[in-house]
Amino acid sequence: MKRRHLEDLNRDIRDHIEEETQDNMARGMAPDEARQAALRKFGNILRVQEDTRDVWDIVWLEQLLQDVRYGLRVLRRNPAFSAIVILTLALGIGVNTAVFSVVNAVMIRPLSYPNPDRLVAYVEGASNSKAVKSGISGADFAEWRANARSFDGMASYFYTDGILASAGDAGQVRLASLAGDFWAITGARAALGTLFAPDTAPGSIVLSHQLFERRFAGDSSIVGKSMILDARPVTVTGVLAPDFEFLFPQNRPDVESGGIDAYVSSGPLLRSSRQRVFVAARLKPLVAIGSALTELQTLEGRVLQTYPDRWFAGVERMRLVPLQERLVGSVRRALIILQVAGMFVLLIACINVANLLLARASVRQREIAIRSAIGAGAVRVIRQFLTEGMVLALLGGATGLVLARLAVSMMASLGSETVPRLPETRIDPRVLGFTLAISVLSGVVFSLGPAISLYRTNLQYALKDRVGEPFLGWRGLQIRRTLVAFELALAIVLLTGAGLMIKSFLYMYANPPGFSPEHTLLLKVSLAGPEYAVKPRQVSYLNELVRRIASVPGVEAAGIYKTDLLLVQSKDNTRPPIVDSFRENLVSPGYFGAIGMRLVKGRRITEADPPDATVINETMAKRAFGDANPIGQRIERLGRQIRVAGVAADLKYSKLDADPAPEIFRAYPQNLGPGRVTMTLVLRVIGDPLGIAPAARRLISDIDPAQPVYSIETLQKALSRSITPRRFNLYLLGAFAAASLLMAIIGIYGVIAYSVAQRTREIGIRMALGAQRGEVVRMVVKQGMAIALSGIAAGVAAALGLTRFMASLLYGVRPDDTPTFVLVALVLAVAALLASWGPALKAAVVDPLIALRYE
Amino acid sequence: MSTREKDRIELLQGTLDLLVLRTLLPGRAHGHAIAKAIECNSEDVLQVEQGSLYPALHRLIKRGWISAEEGTSENNRRAKYYRLTTKGRKQLMVETTKWEKLARAVACILTPAAREGDL
């Protein structure tokens, strides 16, 4: 259809002009004149042909294909240029895709439970943002569940560790103890057997599919079998479907998200058991979270009248938050910061590409001028540039996607332990859409500028053979300088952010003398079985263990401890407690030496001490006694008096990114409570601590093979795990900053080198007139530094404004830490100096004779 | 000629289509004849940029308002002739009505007296 209509267009036009010529001659014009007038009146023939073809709508597609083909040809002709542009873009797009795929998995994608938007978690705190997860009395939960009408289902859960023994082997399992409608609100299904009904009596266990595969090799005959869990018989009722994930908040860093091995029933939650539980629930449709909370507060108020609970925070501190929010709230800010940082990197990449295109534009100005002269409209020329830019951007995006895939698997291994849902990160359609969008957007950003500046080129200048003289020379270079300064400013912001985080890490890892986590080994032992139910038996086992393990070659010191976090309640409201909570450690005498804790005052405690003899740490001493000498003083602990025998130096050995907590240390055998005993063995080792792990393990199994050791790791590892999310942020931000620094240096080098090339003639004249080499070098370097300094000044100002948003990611460093700012500015200034030095030296060796001939 | 150039008015956007349809109402014509007819019939006031005629003709073919056919011109040369289709005839009615409405409306605003006269 189109072809048929278009094939005789040329003949039509020819006829038309012919007729017009005839008419003009009839009016008395000479033949030549008549023809000229006819042509003039008709207008631009090529343009008419193109416009007519445009009518047949498929034409835009045809032109697009033409532009794409042309663009690809241009790219193939300059493989090095194309490769640099594509790789630069791939880097920028890749980091954004990678970060976005994490954002998508963690923040955007709904939880894999039915009606995830109606799932809420119970927390306590003065406000939602300050809320901490805290347990309520299990009996209170039972009251809530029986009476609350705002919910479709309510579940409680708490975590325990247990030893699961079956025919001949025993192993540590991580358990969630469930009550209420847990299966219903999570939509859990059994792959084998059944899930125990809510509120069944204890004695049922459901295995996660992962444990089923790992421990039992997927043997389906285990369903219905009996096993021993912590010396009590349990029956395996079922195995969960492989896709079930446990996605509830856990405040234990050693339990990975989804890392629950098995589920047991809590049984009836009686007031006498004093068990505290965490609560999650599903709201009924159309019930607002606020009204559900009000109902719970009313219920709890009534419960408290009958059963006063001195551990309860108070009705007004009760909170309900969406489960998703609760899970990812803590990492949201970090992810947003990373995404913004990623955008900075992409912007820098776009600026570099725009710079390259501008530099190349001076080579192409003749081509554009010729195209315009033979009738290409403004839109057509700009479209050609946009298409070429788009081709580059899409190739960059595709390469970026490959990079992102690599980055995603790297990130998943970096932060899987503490960034919730991180292992779920995938490149799904939403991520692909994001990548496409940012690719197209960057294509527009980096190609529109050059296209417009080129089109405004003076045709006359361009058509003359003097490529690149005044036209794009000045204005183009001016644009490029501004862009490079902007790029440097962005790099400063990223580098400052990374610098502040590195400094935080230095603070976190600053260890006092005597404390060497890399030479300290932690082994957890848990005494299970009826023969260890009594205290004398437990103590003699542990004493034997410490005595024997201290004699293993390579072990310098051995100790044993057990930590509990105790909350302090003020009995009346007249006087606030000295501390809200403190850590109570039951320790053996060897503990201080093994962990490397110095005693500042007084003495250690031994088995010979009375049970109330206590060592406190400096933080506790300061809070309780100020500057007074604490030795011999008394402290109230849960209503009983204890006596201070010594003061130990503060030591950060559980969380690197927190200030030392108030702690007390008491002798373990004297104060060991009833029930199962789980203790940690601390060994100070010469050489590689993990080297002696096999010997230690063998020795423990020699004493009693039924008592397994679990979790052997160095203190170093345990410590660094406590800051996994921070490390995750640091690595990413650091990588972004490094990439931006590199690109900024390339940018400034490019612009200076280009301006030197353009000024070769001028430099030649200067030298012919007697300018010294040193002067030429100084002139070029000065030019580079002018750009750098304006960029650095702008960047420092921007960083001052922006870094305060990352205050929560820092430790021990203020967001406006002057040394970091100065250092970063210096690093960039030196880098810029070096980057302009190269072109400057090149300028200095210009031979005036050659330069003057250079056209 | 130069004084008359000044009196000429550039065509309003979209009116060329209407003029082409109207020109073809009596019968078929070829490209140059259409351009000439528009200029003559408007007493040389309307200036058809001849180049824009061909895109317009093709636009009308595509919409099915005119058709193209081969024919022989007065001086015995093969030429392409354009003819109004039935659909085009209807469209011409629609467009003409629309144009008259517009012209009246503009006139009403420019010369309020005309409106009073109507009443």
Stated pTM of the model: 0.69
Chain B: residue whose CA lies nearest to A46? B51
Higher pLDDT, A45 or A414: A45
- Cross-chain Cβ contact B54/A41 below 8 Å: no
Q: Which residues of A638-666 are buried (b: 16+ CB within 10 A; e: fewer)?
A: eeeebebbbbbbbbbbbbbbeebbbbbbb
Q: Residue B3's pLDDT is what?
A: 38
Q: Which two tokens stand for residue A375?
A: 């009738």
Q: Which two tokens stand for residue B83?
A: 């003819």
pLDDT average, residue stretch A584-605:
86
User: Chain-centre distance of CA A492, in angstroms?
Assistant: 20
d(CA A731, CA A716): 19
- Cross-chain Cβ contact A5/B61 below 8 Å: yes
B32 closest CB neighbour out of A15, A47, A56: A15
For B4-31, give the DSSP string. Answer: HHHH-EEPPTTHHHHHHHHHTSSS-EEH
Chain B: residue whose CA lies nearest to A50? B55
The residue length of chain A stands at 855
Chain A: residue whose CA lies nearest to B69? A5
Model ipTM value: 0.76
Q: Which residues of A touch B52 (CB under 8 A)?
A: 43, 48, 51
Distance from CA of B112 to the nearest CA of A (A): 39
Q: Which two tokens stand for residue A191?
A: 């792959």
Q: Is the pLDDT of residue B49 over 80?
A: no
Helices (H), A636-723: 668-671, 693-703, 715-721
In contact, A703 and A541? CB cutoff 8 Å = yes
Chain B: residue whose CA lies nearest to A52? B55
Label residue B39 by pLDDT band (50, 70, 90): confident
Any CB–CB contact under 8 A between B79 and chain A? yes
Predicted confidence (pLDDT) per residue in A684-717, tens digit: 988 888 788 888 888 887 887 777 777 788 888 7
Q: Is the pLDDT of residue A505 over 60?
A: yes
Q: Is the pLDDT of residue A60 over 70?
A: no
Instruction: Please report, for chain A, the start and end positions of each structural domain, with discontinuous segments joined by +.
Output: 2-54, 57-112+332-468, 135-312, 486-510+721-855, 530-705
- How many inter-chain contacts (A to B, CB under 8 Å) are there? 57
The CA distances from residue A323 to A80, A183, A260, A294, B118, in Å, are 51, 16, 18, 18, 73
Predicted confidence (pLDDT) per residue in A783-814, tens digit: 889 989 999 999 999 999 888 888 878 888 88
A16 closest CB neighbour out of B31, B49, B62: B31
d(CA A104, CA A85): 28
Higher pLDDT, B32 or A258: B32
- DSSP lists the bridge partners of residue A232 as A229
pLDDT average, residue stretch B76-82:
78
Q: Which of A12, A13, A47, A59 to mutate to test the interface with B (most CBs of B within 10 A)?
A: A12
Distance from CA of B114 to the nearest CA of A (A): 38
The residue length of chain B stands at 119
Predicted confidence (pLDDT) per residue in A268-318, tens digit: 888 777 777 889 999 999 899 999 999 999 998 888 888 877 666 677 788
Residue A7's SS3 state is helix
pLDDT average, residue stretch A235-261:
71
Percent of chain A with pLDDT over 70: 87
Q: Residue A29's pLDDT is what?
A: 86
Q: Residue A432's pLDDT is what?
A: 92
Question: Cβ neighbours of residue A619 under 8 Å, at least 6 residues apart?
Answer: A650, A659, A660, A661, A662, A663
Helix B31-41 × helix A9-26 angle, to 10°: 50
- Cross-chain Cβ contact A16/B58 below 8 Å: no
**What domains sit in chain B, N to C, each tagged with a CATH number?**
2-118 (1.10.10.10)
Predicted confidence (pLDDT) per residue in A78-126, tens digit: 888 888 889 999 999 999 999 899 888 888 877 888 888 899 988 887 6
d(CA A457, CA A364): 11
